Each structure stands twice: as C-alpha cells, then as structure tokens.
Structure 1
C-alpha cells in the first residue's frame, strides 16, 4: 500500500480519534533530527491517516496506513528518539518490507490513549502483531539499534511485545490492558483457555513457542528457525529435537533450546533459569557495568526469584523478588506489580530503593550448542570440514581448530590404532544426543579411509588445569569463583549420572574453559574405546592412577561412584591452582598410599575446611558411602548460595 497522498484517499468512515501530533519521517531513507512535522492524525475503522493543517482547518492528506498491515504499536523509551519523551511507534508492512512510523505526543496519557485505540482497531481488522519489538531506534551514528546490539535495521526486535489479548483474531470484545502505574509494559499473559469440543472433551491447546535464535537446517527433515517468529510444537517427546510447524505450514525438527514458550519468562534476555549465585556473579563481573543485571531462580528458596545487580563498587548485590498477599511481585513493597517483567521495567526507570537503577542485562555469547548439528546428523562429510591450526596434542592424537559450514569447532584427530573406531562409531550417535550446558558438545565424526576425526564444541580458553595454573595468583583468593567451577562440573556430571553414563577419566585436564568463566566436561566416555594397554590397564604408565579410586585400581571396576572419587581429586586440583595431585610420587607409590595406607591428599592451603570436607566425602573407601552427583550438586550449591539478601523497606 502506498504511503503517498492521493485524491482517492477521502474516506467516508467515521473518525474514532483525532489529534495534532508530531511525526518523524518514516524510515525508508536516512533521516535527520530536523524532519519532524506537526500532522493531524485521524484514526478510522480501516486506516490511520495523517493530514496537513489543524483541527479547525484540515489540509491535504499526506499518507495513511491500512490497519490490517500493522505489526506493532509500542512505546519508545524516553530519550531514545533524539532525546524526546512520550514517543510511540507503529511498525507496519508495505510491499513485503517493514517500516516504522514514530509519533511524539504531549504526555504519557495521550500516548497511551493512541496506543490503545490503534491496537484495538487494528485487531478488529485482523492485524497480527510481531512477537518482539525495539524499545529504542536504529541510529546511523551507532550503526545499530540504541536499545540492543542488533545492526540489521530490519531486525524484528529485542523486547517481547504486548500480547494480543483476544481469543479470536476478529473478536476484540475481550480486549483490555491491565491498569499499571507506569508506561507500556511487556506483560506475559497466560494462554486463553482451551475451547470445549461438542462431545464434551477439551480441544488440545496448541503449544506456541518463539524462536530465540536463527537455525539453519543441517539435514533433510530439519526446519529453519527465524528469530522472533512463532512455531507450533507438534511433538516434544524427544529431549533435544522437537517436531515443529512454521507459519507457512512447513514441518520439521528444531533444536529445543532455540525456542521458548510464548509469554514465558525465558523469552526475556535478562532471565537465566538455572543459575547459581556464584555463576551469576561471575557473569555480571565479567560484564562489569553498573546496573548490569539478571533474574534467576532462587536456589536457596525454591519457587522464588532473585535479582542480581552489578554495582559501581565492583560488587554484585542480590535481591529476592517477593510476593505479597495480593499475589503481586515486588522488591520494595511500596512498588508492587502483577508480573516480574513489570517489576523489572519499573526498576529500569527508577532505582526504587535498589543500590542502582537497572540498566542492561549481560551480553550473551552467541547461540548455544545443539545436540549434534541436526536431529539425526552425526556422520559428517569430510568436504564440509576445514581442519586448521593445532590447539594441543596428547597421547592419542592432536586437537585442531576447525570450521564446519562457517561455525568454529574443535577437531580431535586420532592417531592410528589409538582407539577402537568401529566400537566408538556405534556409540557416537547416542553420545551426540548427550547435551548439557556444562558438557562439551560432541557434534559427530568424520570417518574416512585415511583419517578419523571427532568433531566437538570449541572452547576458547583451553584446558582447566592450564587455565588454573596461568591465573593461579588471581584465582586462589577467589573461593567463590573456584566453587563456581566445581558446581559447573558437578552439574555436568549429574547429567551424565542421570543418563547412566560413566566418564572414566574425569580430571582438570579433561575439562575446558570458555567465555564468561564457563567450564565444561570433555571427553566423557572416550576412555572406553582406547586400545592402548598402557592406558587401559591400571598397571600401565599412562593410566590415570592419581584420579582412580581403590576399586578401579584393584578390580578395574568403573561406576558413577568412581567418577565421584575423581571429582574429589579434581576439586583438589581447582583449590590448589592446578597443581599435580600426589606431586613427586610414582604411580605405584600412589596405589600404596591410597589402598594400603588409606591416606588421602592433604588440604590445599587456600581450600576452606568446609570445602575439604566435601573432598573427603568423595574419597570414602567404600563406593556406596560416597555421595552421588545429585547429592554433590545440592552440597556445593549450599556453599555457593550462602549469604544474606538485602531487603528494601
């Protein structure tokens, strides 16, 4: 639909709303601060029109937007648009492109009145709103939106849009906005109740999710994801790959961790579902900007949420988000709201008793890994993989940096006759489906006559033992940071424990460090397929004796409880700053030390007594007396989440 004035634009429709407002040029070309003009805006049942002139003397019509083409009607944060207040935006579709009209009102009341009226009439016309929008504007000086890091002017948005309230597209009888004390809030709204069927049973509710990341199909049967678009989940019985249907009706598998339920807290970039107190502090301190914040599930009080904020003193403060007797959420009881997003929105504009006003959440490190490249892809064609420089080497091969379809990966090149390749390949498909934030993701294998590669997730900072040694002087004074490493590893091992998977070679050298101090367990299960006698026999010099429990040294009896023993040694490595356990002792001396003398490693100098007690629990002679990884997660979490939370009055 053209935006140019035309004589045919005269409309006999009744006028619903008329006002003189300030308009900024539509973003079809580069604009400057000078092109704001006063226009007479007229809303009728089919169009939003704007004219020259004033209420008393109307001029020519300058343009109109068909209401059915509108994709968003939202506020713009104050000062975001050329330092102006009381601005709202209309995103609409014209010739398959999105355009944005910015309108400046006199006050908040006038702005909200126009937003409500346009949204109501647009919904009556069958408009379907985008799930996300930008609360700021794209600026030429920054080359990006001033509310987020998106540099594409056509990017769909960074903030969740106001939900469409009506149960049916053309029925707006139930349209309403929840009265709140502040401007527009992106409020999650529960899905409408299911419609009863004629036989008395209920029609199943559709599972509607929003894509948080783009996904390019890796194989036939996968479905492309476009960030911000909605998808119906048809089958979510698989843990990591769901069958979904796009808006054009195409079906296929998608990575489950790339979509979030519509109106769920997880669609907000400030919400981190499963995060410990120490992990939140590590993330915020790495960002190190005053007011940087996130919201997480409270581990100390199940069912509650915690707000964590970085202060100008270089510290992180934690606040419980509480609920009053009316069911409203608050941090300060004088500022309560019906939802957590409303609480966050308020404190982004008013400190309201917090140590600082909330600003931006921490920057996330790109897309998360998927369980394999595709829903069943685990054999990778050699021509798709570019093998580059060597990152490290070991007894059984070398690790290279690689590129698969433009994505950086780690490529483990195995030495000839170092492992039972046939047996490993049989298990590789299962191993690619082991997926957890604290496990290095196995993507698949390349099996050619002249080479065998294991392709996995690339971790930028290398092995944990060398990382600890490199930063020893800094890290040993940070007990909380070291506990965070322990908890991350323990979480990954608990996942393996639940899936009946034994690592067999857990040690700091087999854990890798990524950005924002993320630690992941690597090479889980790989030891099963090594055929080197020096490695597989406890009598061999390559066997990891210093991490092995008595039952493995005596009977080669591996279990999750033998992994627990190794985890205790790994914790010792962490709190010693990457030192070698049993330093100076030969393997045969270690066996005598552990089995015959029943002695254990001494407490590292910087290890707190409570932490050392956890180590000794892991080193019980009887495997049945050792804690499970599930129990260890609770024990370590209890240490990491200790401390007081401030309460605001």
Structure 2
C-alpha cells in the first residue's frame, strides 16, 4: 500500500469517543509534518492516548518527548499521544516488516526458530560489526541439520548499492529482497515470509504515569502470590483492571521511603530490553509497593531447576547468558551497579526473554540482611572477594557475580559451591579457591574459560560486560563455522 505524499488536513482537532476522554493539549498543526506508519496495533490506556491499528498512517505534531509523540491520525483526523516505539517513519527502512535494525545474531536466530515459522522466514538486521553493513538471516531446513538459521552478509558497493554475491547487485535493500523472493541466486532457499515481530516494550503503564509514577494503591489488584525473596513478597496483579503487572511488597522497615524513591528515580529511567521495567511505586504507606512489568515464566532460577534439563539446550543457555550480559552492559555504560546479580534475580518472559531485576535494591536495604559481617543472609556465594572483605562494590564485582550466574545456568540451577557453607566460601575464596568445571553437567571449555575470567582475583583483569555481551552473542555452532569458511556470503 503506497503512501499518499500530501498530508491530510483535518476539519477538527478531537473526536471524542463514547467514554469521552479528555482532549489533548491544543497544538498548532504542522503542514507537511513527518508521516509515520504503525508497525503494531495500539489500544490507548488513558485519556489523551491515540489508538491505532497496524498499517495506519499518522502525522507527527510534536516529538519532543523521548517516549510519547503527539500525532494526528490521517484517516480519522483525531489527535492523541502515541508510543514512539510502535511506529516508523513512512520513508524509512524501519517501516519494512522484514527489517529488524540492531538485533544480535543470537536474537535473530531465536526469533526465526520460534515455533510456527516456516522455511524461508527471514529478516534483515544491521551487522554487529558496523563496517559490514547488513546481514540477512533465513530459517532453512535440510535432511542433515534439520531446522536451522543461515546468515548472509549484505555488502555495499562503492556507489551505494547492495549485494550478497558479487554477480548480483541491487540499488536498494527493497530491490534485493524482491529479487530473492523470486530467485534464490545461490542462497539456501527463496525468501518467503518476513519474520513476525515481537510486541514492542511498554515503558509506562500509560502516558500519565511516565512522570507521575507514584500511584494510588487502590488502582492495583493483588490476585496471586508468586513468591517471596530477600526484600519481600511478589504478587501477580492488574493495574486499572487492564494491564498485567507484578507487585513487590517490601518488608516493613527494609528501607526508608526517601532512600527508595531516590533509587527508583534511576530505575524508572532505564530503557533496555534486558532490564526489568519499573512502572510505578506506592510509598505513602507501608508496605512500599514496587509495580513492574509481569514476566510470565518467573525467576530464571526456578525455570532452570524445574524445566531446564528437559527443555533447554546449550544454545538456549548461551542465549540466556547473552541477554543477562547485554542488560548488565547497559548498566555498565551508565556506571550503575547491581550488587545482587544471580539467577534468582533474573526474570523470564515469553520466548526465553530474560530481564535483570531487583537492580539497586541491595544498595539501600537497611538492617543486617545484606551486611558482609553476617554470612547468614548476605549472598556470599555470589559476592566478589573484595566486596566480602572490604565492602568494595564496583561493576567488576558484578562481573564476578555474573561468573557465578553462568555456573548456575550451565548446571540448570545447581547451588554454587556444592557442599560448602557460606562461612567456608567466605574463608576459601579470598585465599584463591574457585569452583571447578561441573562434573555432572556438560560445560564446554569455552564457557568455563569465560567463567574463570570473571573470577580473576584482580578486578581490573576481569572482562567488561560489553566484552562478555559481544563474546557470548557471537558464539557460533560448528556447522555455521564450516559454512563461513565455504561461502563468501556468510556473515
């Protein structure tokens, strides 16, 4: 469907619906404003938000906010706020269903291998090495390897064209895709179906709660207790009877409301697909409530122990570790610490999507629960020696914890330092003791090497999370390495 170039002029500014929402703040129409296309459908959740369907076109009136844009629907001539990450510029590559921009290789593989996708399902993504332009990823099948994903590097000509093999060059990526839908020109198979996109992240309960995220607890329902941890209970519930949420109730006296609010201000601003989203808080009475997005598969530790050996393969475990490293690399880039990184504090959603949770809470907890001088409740087995001995927490002490988390992942949730008490660990690790390669679980040498690097006694010699994220995200299986050596097109 081609976009009309001229913008639609509206005879009125707001058409109220049956529930009569409040009109948005008046704005001056911008002639020839930027046109965007909806990549997903969106149902407004509060007054002033504009609902739309996938494929709808809207004119942007105000894009000053990082998350919510004021827009005019070009068919209905209504105005409202729309989530920025639900739309793409009509003239951009992002509006193509097959273009996934900056996603990692392993993320592309996970999306393509989702149940229901057929041979020939494909996507194009930016190559993880910026000098390599783009990569084409296709779901394929053959008798020897079964279902698998193949990756091809898309190179750029001196004149700005695109090619996979030097014998076939195309003016645009659209032309390349159209051509390979008709003739595979040596690829594994024809391009058939754009890979279905996962729903975009919702950063707020509504536009109204983006900045006013101290909410009244009366709009929350606590329907099912999910568990409890170091800081309190966790419940499944609903906000406004419309949005699934998780609600953490902090133990009374666990932390002061003022200290928590200061930390929550940082947490609310975090924007990464592998960091749990903080939606809102209730701090005006005890217990303090933390309202976050709901992750349907719960804690990673429980998933590893209950289903891991039955359902998860090595590639899945590496995918989990890659996501945790990516989330921590984001915190690292902001110079933020977690202080309690462990499988119990990683949550899992659909399609094995993992998010680091409970960021920052260990720093402001009060009392003795997290005091290094008492080994009973302090997470000794996940804590770096310099943090145990001198209370010296840095991003490199989080890297140490990541090494322990990797051991949890590869052993499907086994307790670290089996057979040792917290006190024995606290005495042995600073003197050089390290866990060996697990005897009862398959742990490739390269995984154990990564773990050992995280446990270097010198924090400065431990890898960065940025390095770990890139390393884990680019691990290749043997068949792919063979194909890379036998084809100039492989990326």
Match of 2:351 among 516, 537, 540: 516
Contact 2:132 2:155 in 1 (8 A): no
Q: Which residue of 2 aligns with 1:358?
A: 191
Contact 1:305 1:321 in 2 (8 A): yes
The normalised TM-score by structure 2 is 0.82
Q: CA deviation at 1:639?
A: 2.6
Q: Which residue of 1 aligns with 2:28?
A: none
Match of 1:294 among 123, 131, 150: 123
Larger radius of gyration: 1
Contact 1:371 1:435 in 2 (8 A): no
Match of 2:322 among 487, 499, 507: 487
For the pair 1:308 / 2:137, whether they are aligned, the reply is: yes
Kindly tell me: are residues 127 and 208 of structure 1, through their superposed partners in 2, closer, same or farther at Cα, counting changes over 3 Å? closer
Match of 1:257 among 62, 85, 107: 85
Tell me how far apart the structure 2 counterparts of residues 443 and 527 of structure 1 sit (CA, whole Å).
19
Q: CA deviation at 1:489?
A: 0.8
Question: CA offsets per residue over residues 295-339 of structure 1, 9 Å max, x none?
Answer: 222225634211111123311111222334553223344543221
Q: Which residue of 2 aligns with 1:390?
A: 225
For the pair 1:637 / 2:470, whether they are aligned, the reply is: no
- Correspondence list, 1:112-511, <5 A: 208-214=35-41, 224=50, 226-227=52-53, 228-232=56-60, 234-236=62-64, 240-241=66-67, 244-246=70-72, 254-287=82-115, 288-300=117-129, 302-312=131-141, 313-370=146-203, 373-374=206-207, 375-405=210-240, 406-449=242-285, 451-474=287-310, 478-511=313-346
Q: CA deviation at 1:242?
A: 5.1
**What are structure 2's unaligned runs of at least 5 residues?**
10-31
**What are structure 1's unaligned runs of at least 5 residues?**
1-71, 75-118, 130-204
Q: CA deviation at 1:522?
A: 0.8
Q: CA deviation at 1:626?
A: 1.7
Tell me how far apart the structure 1 counterparts of residues 8 and 284 of structure 2 sit (CA, whole Å).
51
For the pair 1:617 / 2:445, whether they are aligned, the reply is: no
Using CA pairs below 8 Å that are at least 6 residues apart, which structure has the higher relative contact order? Answer: 2
Question: CA offsets per residue over residues 38-65 of structure 1, 9 Å max, x none?
Answer: xxxxxxxxxxxxxxxxxxxxxxxxxxxx
Contact 1:210 1:231 in 2 (8 A): no
Q: CA deviation at 1:545?
A: 0.4
**Relative to total residues, which structure has the larger helix share, 1 or 2?**
2
Query: The residue matched to 1:570 in structure 2 has which SS?
Result: helix
Tell me how far apart the structure 2 counterparts of residues 482 and 384 of structure 1 sit (CA, whole Å).
38
Query: The residue matched to 1:436 in structure 2 has which SS?
Result: coil
Tell me how far apart the structure 2 counterparts of residues 528 and 224 of structure 1 sit (CA, whole Å).
39
**Relative to total residues, which structure has the larger strand share, 1 or 2?**
1
Q: CA RMSD in A?
A: 3.1
Question: CA offsets per residue over residues 96-134 of structure 1, 9 Å max, x none?
Answer: xxxxxxxxxxxxxxxxxxxxxxx8xxx7xx6869xxxxx
Q: Which moved more, 1:323-332 or 1:339-348?
A: 323-332
Kindly tell me: are residues 494 and 225 of structure 1, through their superposed partners in 2, closer, same or farther at Cα, counting changes over 3 Å? farther
Contact 1:257 1:370 in 2 (8 A): no
Tell me how far apart the structure 1 counterparts of residues 114 and 223 of structure 2 sit (CA, whole Å).
29
- Give the number of aligned pairs: 450
Contact 1:475 1:481 in 2 (8 A): no
Query: The residue matched to 1:299 in structure 2 has which SS?
Result: coil
The normalised TM-score by structure 1 is 0.63
- Correspondence list, 1:502-581, <5 A: 502-581=337-416
Q: Which residue of 1 aligns with 2:17?
A: none
Query: The residue matched to 2:131 in structure 1 has which SS?
Result: coil
Tell me how far apart the structure 1 counterparts of residues 181 and 306 of structure 2 sit (CA, whole Å).
38
Q: Which residue of 2 aligns with 1:34?
A: none
Q: Which moved more, 1:385-394 or 1:367-376?
A: 367-376
Kindly tell me: are residues 498 and 300 of structure 1, through their superposed partners in 2, closer, same or farther at Cα, counting changes over 3 Å? closer
Tell me how far apart the structure 2 counterparts of residues 502 and 370 of structure 1 sit (CA, whole Å).
21
Query: The residue matched to 2:88 in structure 1 has which SS?
Result: strand
Query: The residue matched to 2:147 in structure 1 has which SS?
Result: coil
Q: Which residue of 2 aligns with 1:600?
A: 434
Tell me how far apart the structure 1 counterparts of residues 373 and 101 of structure 2 sit (CA, whole Å).
42
